[in-house]
A and B are shown apart, each in its own frame.
Chain A
Amino acid sequence: MLIQVKKKISKKIEKKGLSVMIGYVLLITSAVVMGSIVYIWLESYVPREVPQCPEGVSIAVIESSCVNGNISLRLKNNGLYNIDGLLVRGSSRPGQEIATIDLTNEIDGGFIKPGGTGGLAPGEEDMIRNLSYNSKICDAGVSCEEKNVCLGNNLCPSLNHERCDASKNGEYPFTQKYDCDWIGSIDEGKCVGTATCQDVVTFGSGGNDCNYLSTDLLKICEGWKSVNYYNITSVEITPLVYIKQNNKNRIVTCGNAKIQENFKNCILFKEKTSPI
């Protein structure tokens, strides 16, 4: 009888094992639920993979010019990656640290696509032309003043030895000094320099360089024209590259690879409708 009772008691005690299991299940379930709540709450704080500009993106200006209201830049990709876009910004005020004039004229959504369809490959060069006057800049606070400008292209290559020396020294028939210099022998040399017709600053009723340079004899410049203009003291070029993320190409700015090219006497202008 006692044995029978003992067996039944032990059987009864064994049944308590089930409640231990329920305890575990409840414990695990509550832990999972709490973990899920905390995960959902903090999930947004998990940093996402962000496309970044790879190190080794680099660009260089091989040649630059600012002639007749247009800036041209010959650029070389001297980095390790394709360059898919370029932000080109200009500064117009002396001492301006941030270039705020958009010279791309909002081509292709605000940036220039250099090179072919695949961008500018490492080692490749490309000429960026016609970075010109943008009237939107005037609406955006840049002072687009009026002035008379001697229109035309480079001055030096059209000058012979005698005139090249005269322009360099500001001697007759020139009334000011220009950045022109004769290189080589008198017979086989050439006049080189950065001077353009826009460097002609004198303008008056008397004789002036632009009139002289525009005569049938020389035809280097096109003569005086009234224009709206703004100065460009320097140009900042920032490369952009496409980075693939989640099967999508994302354009990334490479601020660390930004370069600057300084200009002297560079004006971008638009001819006024009524010439003087």
Chain B
Amino acid sequence: MIQNKKVLKSGFPYIYMKNNKKGLSPVIATVLLIAMVVVIAVIIFLWLRSMTQETITKFEGENVELTCDRVEFEATYLDGILDIANTGNVPIFSMKVEINKGEAGFETKDITELSSMWPPNGLNQGGIFSGSVSLDSGVEKIILYPVLLGTSDEGQKTYFCDKDSNGVEISLIAG
């Protein structure tokens, strides 16, 4: 303790000199802390990125999820013929058809599996489709929901719009 109180030539007591030596370690600690935070943040970012869906955009960078809300189409099924009209301004690349058989469950098919008449480039604005689609007698309803073509980092990709919010349900139960 007595030694610590010894005054150096510089005028500082020895105790301050000793404490000054520790001044470097907070800087290193801060650098380490920041480096660790950055590394952990990068790891978490990459991990979350792999868990989230790849962003697909349409119309000058708009997320295709938002574009789905602007899709407008009409669909009817009468006497074995499925009619679809794109009444909005968003091109519909394809259509998913959920065939619901009540208690027997459901299956989802692409429109191209059900009809060869679907245009290869889909339905542009004002586009119409009319094709013969044969369904089993036990089918209670069909739900059609659009598939859009957008762009991602890997090029053009299809995106299935949400069935509940963007789909059209057609009941096939008579009456």
Which A193-218 residues have C-beta < 8 A from chain B? none
For residue A111, CB closer than 8 A to chain B, the reply is yes
Q: Which residues of A contact B89 (CB under 8 A)?
A: 50-52, 252-253
Which B116-133 residues have C-beta < 8 A from chain A? 117, 124-132
For residue A244, CB closer than 8 A to chain B, the reply is no
For residue B34, CB closer than 8 A to chain A, the reply is yes
Q: Which residues of A contact B128 (CB under 8 A)?
A: 89, 98-100, 102
Q: Are B61 and A100 in contact (CB under 8 A)?
A: no
For residue B78, CB closer than 8 A to chain A, the reply is yes
Q: Which residues of B contact A97 (CB under 8 A)?
A: 74, 76, 78, 83
For residue B55, CB closer than 8 A to chain A, the reply is yes
Q: Are A141 and B132 in contact (CB under 8 A)?
A: yes
For residue B16, CB closer than 8 A to chain A, the reply is yes
Q: Are B12 and A98 in contact (CB under 8 A)?
A: no
Q: Which residues of B contact A37 (CB under 8 A)?
A: 45
For residue B114, CB closer than 8 A to chain A, the reply is no
Q: Which residues of A contact B60 (CB under 8 A)?
A: 48
Which of A48, A51, A89 is in CB contact (< 8 Å) with B62?
Answer: A48
Q: Which residue of B lies closest to A100 (CB)?
A: B130
Q: Which residues of B contact A46 (CB under 8 A)?
A: 62
A12 to chain B, nearest CB (A): 8
Q: Are A4 and B11 in contact (CB under 8 A)?
A: yes
Q: Are A44 and B87 in contact (CB under 8 A)?
A: no
Q: Are B79 and A98 in contact (CB under 8 A)?
A: no
A51 to chain B, nearest CB (A): 7
Q: Which residues of A contact B129 (CB under 8 A)?
A: 100
B82 to chain A, nearest CB (A): 10
**CA of A238 to CA of B59, assembled, Å:** 23
**CA of A99 to CA of B126, assembled, Å:** 11
Q: Which residues of B contact A93 (CB under 8 A)?
A: 78-79, 81
Which of A1, A45, A48, A98 is in CB contact (< 8 Å) with B84?
Answer: A98
**CA of A21 to CA of B98, assembled, Å:** 61
**CA of A28 to CA of B126, assembled, Å:** 51
Q: Are A141 and B61 in contact (CB under 8 A)?
A: no
Q: Are A8 and B12 in contact (CB under 8 A)?
A: yes
Q: Which residue of B lies closest to A109 (CB)?
A: B124
Q: Which residues of B contact A252 (CB under 8 A)?
A: 89
Q: Are B66 and A87 in contact (CB under 8 A)?
A: no
Given contacts A4-B11, A26-B34, contact A111 B78 (CB under 8 A): no
For residue B6, CB closer than 8 A to chain A, the reply is no
B31 to chain A, nearest CB (A): 11
**CA of A110 to CA of B79, assembled, Å:** 27
Instruction: List the 7 closest pairs (A to B, CB-CB), nearest first.
Output: A100-B130, A44-B63, A98-B83, A255-B87, A48-B62, A87-B126, A100-B128
24 contacts between A and B (CB under 8 A): A5-B11, A44-B55, A44-B57, A44-B63, A45-B66, A47-B66, A48-B59, A50-B89, A87-B126, A96-B76, A97-B83, A98-B83, A98-B85, A99-B128, A100-B83, A100-B129, A100-B130, A102-B128, A110-B127, A140-B117, A240-B126, A253-B88, A253-B89, A253-B126
Residues of B within 8 A of A (CB): 11-13, 16, 34, 45, 55, 57, 59-63, 65-66, 70, 72, 74-76, 78-79, 81, 83-85, 87-89, 117, 124-132
